Every structure is written in C-alpha cells, then in structure tokens.
Structure 1
C-alpha cells in the first residue's frame, strides 16, 4: 500500500495484517528479526507503541520534522522489530522501557531510513556507509529525500530511485528543485512529474537539454502527457502516471529509439490509457518469445494497440485449424505437416510463439501481424469441441494423472507442450525416453538454443534422438566445443546426426575422430 506524505498513523487492522505477514515470513527466513519474546496477544500493541516512541525520538531528540520522522517509524517494520527484540518486554510499562532503551542506545538511523523508503530490509547493509549511523553525520541523503517527499514523491517509493540512481540523493535540494521546476515549466502536472521521474530517475540527475538523448526522451514524454492532453482523458494520480511512464519505458527497453514513441502517438495513445499494465507486459513477452526483433515488437504494439485486447491465457487451439485460419496455403501446410508432425494436435494458445518456432513459421506469423491481420488471431476458435483431439494422447494422459509420480510427469509433459510439441503420440513417447525434471530439461534446451542451434532444429533433434535432452549441460558444452573447434564443423550438421551428443566424448567420440583422421 502506498504511503503518501500526508498519511496518518497505521490502524490496528493494518498492524495486524503486517504482523501476520511478518510472522509468516519468519518461518521461512531465519535472517529476519523475530518477536517471539513477546506474547502474540501483545505484539500489535507493542509495535504501535514502539512506532510512536521512535517517531517522538526522531522528532524531538534527532530534530527531524515530525512528518518524516513518522514516515520512517511507520515504514521500517523489520528494523523496528529488531530493536524491539532487544528490549525486555512487560505489558504494563513497555512504552517507558522502550523509551529508556532509546535514550541509552542510539539507533542506526540510516538503517531505519533505507527500509522506510522501500529498500528490502535484507539489502539495507548493501547501501549503508561504513561508520555512518546518524543523519547528522551525512545529511545529504535525508535532505534529498525530504525535498522529493515535499514535492509529492511517495516516501516508500523513494527506495526505487535510490537503488536505480543513488547519485540523486547526493544532490543539493536546490539542484533537485531546479530539475522538478524545469519539468513543470514544460507543461507536466505535479503528479505527472513524480510518475515520470520514478520511471526515469535520470531526469533528476542531469540538466534538461544536456544531451540529445535527454531531449528526445522529454519530447516523447511531452507528446504523450501534454500535447495529447492525456490528463483530461485519465483520472490521474501518481500511480497512474508512473504506470504510463513504465509502459513508455518498455518500448525503450525493446530498442525503440527515444524520440520515436511520440511520433506514432496520434494513433497509439490508447496503448497507454486503455489497457492494464499486465496485458501490456503479457503481449510484449508473447511476441518476444517469437524470437523476432524486439524493436519490431515495440512498433507493432504502437501501430496496432488492438492486439492488447486479445486474450489467450485459457484458450486452446488446434494447430492445423489455427494455420488454416491464418491462411497458410494447402500445399505449404502439407509440407509443414510432413516435416513437423509432432507439433500438430492441440495445444494452448499461450504456447503459440514456440509452436510457430518449432514449425519455423514464426517470422511468417509476425509478418502477418505487421500487415494488420491480428484480427484473425482474435476471431480464431475451435470448429468443434473435438477438433484436433488425439485419443491416444488422452488415454495416456489419464494414465499419467493416476500414476505415482503424477506431478513430476505432468510438469515434464507441460515442458514439451511449452516448447511446441502438440498433444499427440509423439509427445507421449518422449515421456519415457527423456529423463530429468521440467526445469532441468528447460535448462538443457535453452543451452542448445543459446549455443546457436535453431529452435525448430532442436525440436527435430529431440524427436529423432530424445536422449539428447538427457545429457548434462557440462557434457553438452564439451561435445559442442569439440565439434566446432577440433572437428571444425558447423552446428548445422548436428541436425542430421543429433546422436553425436549422446556419445561419450573421451571413450567414443575422440578415439573415432582420431581413427578417422589417420585413415583419411
């Protein structure tokens, strides 16, 4: 829950929820402080009293403005719990005992501060300076935090700024004011400036106009927020503008040049206001799994924001029916079915990127998307409840579900579907031939892919020599290195002879290769 600069004290209900979360966390992480010395029925009250005492201590003894002292005490739950655990507990006079403890045992103020701004308690030591415990020793960090909070930055989100760009907290308050006022002068609202800076902390660290990249970024943001008057179309607050800014940042992460996002905003502003961030991220991940150029993925979503409304998580497809629906010519479809029979049958639509890569049709599909045929994706549905169903697969699936190792085998089966294998007899046979957990198999598959073997070729290697996936990664690495460096062969040759990866390197591969060289 976001805590604004004007938040009041926590309710007892909120404390109970936090305490419950803390107790659950203690059971799985021994590095976190515990409150086991305090009877459960007294913990909520003890925490509330400790927060009040710490607030007064920071305000009166350490001369912090009351608002910020309260922010620190209310948002440093684990640090406070650690302190409470050092004090003898008595239900009748805990407040007095805790206050006395603070008088004679000054706290590490920076530890409380870092946790309060949103940095994970276990990560706090990573950001703490050696021998610097009090704000009076180094006031720059607190001064910067107070300046940002006074402007409207949520206190418990300042940690994300610190982690991503800690140099901001070494700036003079006047420097930060100039950066913030500069953004206001462009036309952004106060809340928009906060959301923008949370997503792009660099804007608080450099002067506007200091580089072409900064100018291009600000130009994009101005077009999105100001020129297209997004504020009149959205009931905005800091969280909303932060989310819009994060969406813009996704396009930059995909490789879209700064300054380009704004150019297509006249037809794409719905990307930023009509669709939840979850749908946005899902579609980005979906298309990136096609293995296509990430920048092209960004421009696709900007050009056709309607793609973001397509739902696929629970949808089932018949691979044959889907390809027919998308207009694959009959002759080409027959060739594809002959070459990749193990991909056909039913599968989940969420697996579609890998299905298409297993068929070597991923680029064809993406080009169809770029030409505006995404509506075919939205209108697709099974022609009948039984379309694409394989009776042999269904019978074996029932056996898997009733087996002793049902969960283990089912997860392995889901791995094969995930990489594009359909619900068919070929996939069922792999269950007995391939050994290893789903995570092990995924790691081995990814290793082969990262070595440069094409996705569809790896799938073909698995279907012809399933035990390829039984090899441990160190063994695979040694054999591939020998294949390329000693034998001088391209990995393309492995498609025709995948069994090479199953042989023992020292006992079989090397002796045979030496014999081959001698005989030649």
Structure 2
C-alpha cells in the first residue's frame, strides 16, 4: 500500500486527463480587440507568461504554476484585454505589463481550482493579493494535488468545506492515509473526499468517531461489492459514484439499504448518469411523497431510469385509463377536475396527479411494480386529447407582441396541472403577472398550508387570487387566522376573500360587526363571507337589520376615517412643499456663493503678480 505525504512532487499523469485546456476557446467576451485568428496563439503565450511569472516571482513549483495559468481562462482574458495587442510583440507587451501591474494571484488561483469566475469575489479576502500574504490555502491545495486530487476540482472542497483549507497539511495527510489503510485505492479515496468533503475536516487524527458508519458502508459498497469493476484509475467516475451515493443518503435512504440494493444490482451507479438520476428523483419528489421512498423505488426498480419523461406528451384521460381507472371513475374525475383534463407534458404529470389527489395512488402502483405501464404509455392517436379551441387560441397568441410573456404564464398553469384547453387560455386574460410572479404567489399559498388540489380548485373558481401580491396574501391569511380565528378551510368555500382589500374592506367591516356584537345588538351570527362580499348598499341594509342606528354609526366611522386620511395626506403634501421650497432656497444660495466669493476677493494687480520670465523654470 502506498502512503502519501504532504508536498510530494507532482508526477502523477492521472491529472493530465483533468486539465482544462482553454487555448482553443476563441469566443471570450473580453478579447474583442484581438483578431480571431490570433487568439489561440495569444492565449497560449499569455498562459506561458503567467506560468513563468508564478514560477519565478511567487516561487511556485512549475507544475502548479501551469495548473493555475491553464485553468483560469476568464481571469487571463480579463488581463489580456488590458494589454496592447501586436501579433509580433504581444508576449513582450504582456511581460512588460506584468512588471508594472502585479498579478492578483488569488483571483487566478480560485478560478483554476474550479470556482466559477462570477463567484470569485465572494471568496477574495481584503488586502490579500499574493500567495505570500496567506500561504495556507495554497499549501493545502498543493498537498491535496500531491495526494491525487484533480486541481480543477479542489474548488468543490473549498466551496463546501472551506475549513479544510485552514488545516495543517500533515493533518490532511493522516486523514487521507487513513482511507488508504482501510483498503480504498487512491482514486477511490479521492472520489470519497470530493463526494463527502466533511470527512477531511474532522478534528481527530484517526478515522474513528461519527463518520464510522459512513466509512464502513462506503467500504462495503466500493470494495466488498466490487462496485469499481471497470472504474480503475478514473477519479472522475469514482467521484460521480460517490455523488450518486450521497444523493440517496440525502434523500434519507438508510445506508445499509443502499448497500443491499447495490449487492443485487449496481446498474443505478454504473449505467446511468448523475443527471438522469437527479431528474428522476426530482420528478418523483414532486409527487409530495416521502423522499426516502423515492430513493428506494429507484434502487428497487432501476428500469424506471430508462423511461423518457421530458419528450413525451400525455392525454390525462388516456393515461389514467391506461393505468387502470375505469370509465365511471374517469367520469367522476372529469366532473370534479375538468380544468386538469386534456393534453399536457409528461414532465408535468406529478402536479397533474396532485391536482386530482391521485399522486399517492400513482406512487403506490409504481412501488407495486406497475412502472411498465408508465413507461410504455403513448397517445392512442395523434389528436387524442387535443382541444381545438386551445390550438386556435395558441395560434392567436403567437401573433401577439408579448408572446414570450404569455407563454411563461401558460407554462406556469400547465406546470401546476391545468390542461391544454380553452379554460386555461381564458386564465391568461384574467390573471396578471409574469410566470415567476405567479409561481411565487402560488408557492406562498401552498407553503401557508393550503393543499395542492384545493388550491388548484380555488384558482379555477377565483383566478384573480393570483393577482394579489405575496405580502398582501400573507397579511390577509394572518388576519384570518389570528384575529378572525378561522382556519384555511374557510378559503376553500370562499376563495374570493383573498381578492378584497384588507385595510379598506375586510378589517373595518369585520371589526364593526365585532363591536356591534359586544354591544349586544347582534341577534344572529353573520358569516365572514356574508360581511365582506355584500355591496356597500347591502351592507348598510344588513346593519339596519341589526340596529336602527348602526348604519349611521358606520357612516360616521367611515367619514372619520376619510377625514383622518385626508388630514394625513394634507400634512404629507405640506411637508413635501416645505421640503421643496427649502431645496430651492439652498440651490439658489449655492448658485450665488461663487459670485459672493469673487466679489469679496481682491483683484490682483500687475504689481503683485509674479511674472514668469522666459527661460525660468
């Protein structure tokens, strides 16, 4: 077994596969003044100059200096844009520029280890420009590179566990050698540390303690079950395997359950990319089921990962029939959730099912092994579920100037389960706001505790609830719960509550009724909807039925409110006028100030003016 120690000379050819060679990148935005045909050569020369600069000026080993220069293309391009270009003398010009403009070494370093160029400023420390200002970070990076970590992936460690780069290199060496002592290969140990960075930051020198369970399970998965067959010598693949393992652990799947699944079939980790796995996890998590169950489903039935979701269209009635619902069941669903039926994208299926409270039924059937029905579903005919009105309206929308804006709104409605039919197109006219605004308002109502299917039903009844700003919705819900004392079930029967003005209608009317009740005048109970929804004239008639003087008292209260608001407005206007007059006076004083100075200053005469003689310095 080979042990690694800090600052061993870098000679592992494995790294060459991970270096990002940017010399072929000719589309950098800051290199506009360099002709396209000269850019590859200019970048190559600039990289060589920066390499020599870091090697000689900063006394950095040549291999590390080269890593930094070749993996920091955006920082390099920004620097190159400040140098006069010449096809013959560019190298000399660049060298001369660096003599008088020292390199911000940490900016180049952070980009080279894989931190996105746009995020580098978040990590730069004030007054720390050179490696000599803070050598700890560079020493740790060189140590990890010596262990076998790809240089351009060290940024993942830095972003997730920055404390690693504050450790003593000998401490990190003991942690890494501990992994090797457990039987992991160098590539496996590197992949484990990249996938689970917290393993490198523990305070104890050994690998005992709180991480034992994870390490034992990783040993069982990667070594005992021989998951690494075909992955020998490939750090990238081991890192991807560890990211997949962590994905399941983060879902809450017991570590032993993951290991047992791998012992039966390892195709989830060897045959499918992390992107495919993440997409399927996201798809099934949208069903609002237990996340650990989603992980177990994919581990138990890896064939699901082969099912195409993104590029398929579903007819809701056809899919439910294909999945086992009878015609009578479909008829009842269509009567209750007519706005859901029609065509939609397969990727929206989780929310389609949640809009009808069928998500748990669907997921249960998937766990029972009915996933082939999900995989082999297809439209029975090209026009199945197609709505002619929707198609015609879409053609009309495409001709509008704000087509993209409407398309985003339409995408939102389809995304929450509304089908491709005329009713959904009508919502575009009734509901105002961008697609992102509608998402934000919908999510707020959902997070407040309204069930998904009931919220969709509320929108179908009263679409204008999505026209309200999020802070307005929040205040109305808080008032309903805290002062009125009603639950959110009230909104299911009266969603229009959310569209009335809280300060000018809901609060005054409700509080006046409460006051009347305290006076003992209210003989029967009035519902909140009956108090709010009624017109102004109807409200006065309602009050007259409670007590003959109630309407007059209400009108007097309204008049007092208007007078108070009017006085506040008058005060505000008068304050604005005074402030404006003061600003004008100050401005006029400033305008006169130079002339006042000039008038009070003595005009120099030719007697006291110094005359400069020719030839005098």
- Note whether the superposition's TM-score is higher than 0.5: yes
Query: CA contact under 8 A between 1:267 and 1:303: conserved in structure 2?
Result: no
Q: Call closer, same or farther: CA 1:9–1:247 in 2, change over 3 Å.
A: closer
CA distance in structure 2 between the partners assigned to 1:7 and 1:105 by the alignment: 33
Which residue in the other structure is 2:272 paired with? 275
Q: Call closer, same or farther: CA 1:100–1:373 in 2, change over 3 Å.
A: same
CA distance in structure 2 between the partners assigned to 1:186 and 1:266 by the alignment: 20
CA distance in structure 2 between the partners assigned to 1:86 and 1:382 by the alignment: 59
Q: Which runs of 5+ in 2 are unaligned?
A: 1-12, 523-617
Matches within 5 A, 1:357-436: 357-436=354-433
Which residue in the other structure is 1:5 paired with? 15
What TM-score, normalized by structure 1, do the two folds share?
A: 0.89
Which residue in the other structure is 1:199 paired with? 195
CA distance in structure 1 between the partners assigned to 2:106 and 2:271 by the alignment: 41
Query: CA contact under 8 A between 1:164 and 1:201: conserved in structure 2?
Result: yes
Query: CA contact under 8 A between 2:353 and 2:417: conserved in structure 1?
Result: yes
Query: CA contact under 8 A between 1:355 and 1:421: conserved in structure 2?
Result: yes
Which residue in the other structure is 2:47 paired with? 51
Which residue in the other structure is 1:448 paired with? 445
Larger Rg: 2
Q: Call closer, same or farther: CA 1:16–1:468 in 2, change over 3 Å.
A: same
Q: Call closer, same or farther: CA 1:174–1:336 in 2, change over 3 Å.
A: same
Which residue in the other structure is 2:456 paired with? 459
Q: Call closer, same or farther: CA 1:416–1:219 in 2, change over 3 Å.
A: same
Which residue in the other structure is 2:23 paired with? 15
Query: CA contact under 8 A between 2:317 and 2:342: conserved in structure 1?
Result: yes
Query: CA contact under 8 A between 1:390 and 1:423: conserved in structure 2?
Result: yes
Q: Deviations over 1:376-432 (max 9, x none)?
A: 211222223332222333333333333444333333222211110112332232222
What's the CA shift for 1:181?
Answer: 2.1
Q: Call closer, same or farther: CA 1:94–1:320 in 2, change over 3 Å.
A: closer
Query: CA contact under 8 A between 1:51 and 1:73: conserved in structure 2?
Result: yes
Match of 1:303 among 300, 317, 334: 300
CA distance in structure 1 between the partners assigned to 2:84 and 2:122 by the alignment: 30
CA distance in structure 2 between the partners assigned to 1:374 and 1:54 by the alignment: 56
Which residue in the other structure is 1:30 paired with? none
Q: Which moved more, 1:261-270 or 1:272-281?
A: 261-270
Q: Which moved more, 1:187-196 or 1:324-333?
A: 324-333
Q: Deviations over 1:443-465 (max 9, x none)?
A: 21111111111111111011111
Matched, 1:216 2:205: no
CA distance in structure 2 between the partners assigned to 1:425 and 1:10 by the alignment: 51
Q: Deviations over 1:269-296 (max 9, x none)?
A: 2111111222111110101111112122
Match of 2:70 among 70, 74, 77: 74
Q: Which moved more, 1:507-516 or 1:255-264?
A: 255-264
Please state whether the residue corresponding to 1:15 is helix, strand or coil: coil
CA distance in structure 2 between the partners assigned to 1:91 and 1:499 by the alignment: 71
Which residue in the other structure is 1:155 paired with? 151
Q: Deviations over 1:469-494 (max 9, x none)?
A: 11121221121111111111101110
CA distance in structure 1 between the partners assigned to 2:264 and 2:135 by the alignment: 47
Please state whether the residue corresponding to 1:232 is helix, strand or coil: coil
Residues paired across the two proteins, number: 503
Q: Call closer, same or farther: CA 1:162–1:328 in 2, change over 3 Å.
A: same
Query: CA contact under 8 A between 2:71 and 2:152: conserved in structure 1?
Result: yes
Q: Call closer, same or farther: CA 1:318–1:122 in 2, change over 3 Å.
A: closer
What's the CA shift for 1:440?
Answer: 1.7
Match of 1:96 among 83, 89, 92: 92
Match of 2:337 among 340, 343, 347: 340
CA distance in structure 1 between the partners assigned to 2:108 and 2:463 by the alignment: 55
CA distance in structure 2 between the partners assigned to 1:382 and 1:37 by the alignment: 54
Which residue in the other structure is 1:263 paired with? 260
CA distance in structure 1 between the partners assigned to 2:138 and 2:430 by the alignment: 61
Query: CA contact under 8 A between 2:316 and 2:341: conserved in structure 1?
Result: yes
Please state whether the residue corresponding to 2:414 is helix, strand or coil: helix
Matched, 1:142 2:138: yes
CA RMSD of aligned residues (A): 2.5
What's the CA shift for 1:511?
Answer: 2.3
Which residue in the other structure is 2:167 paired with? 171
Q: Call closer, same or farther: CA 1:408–1:10 in 2, change over 3 Å.
A: closer
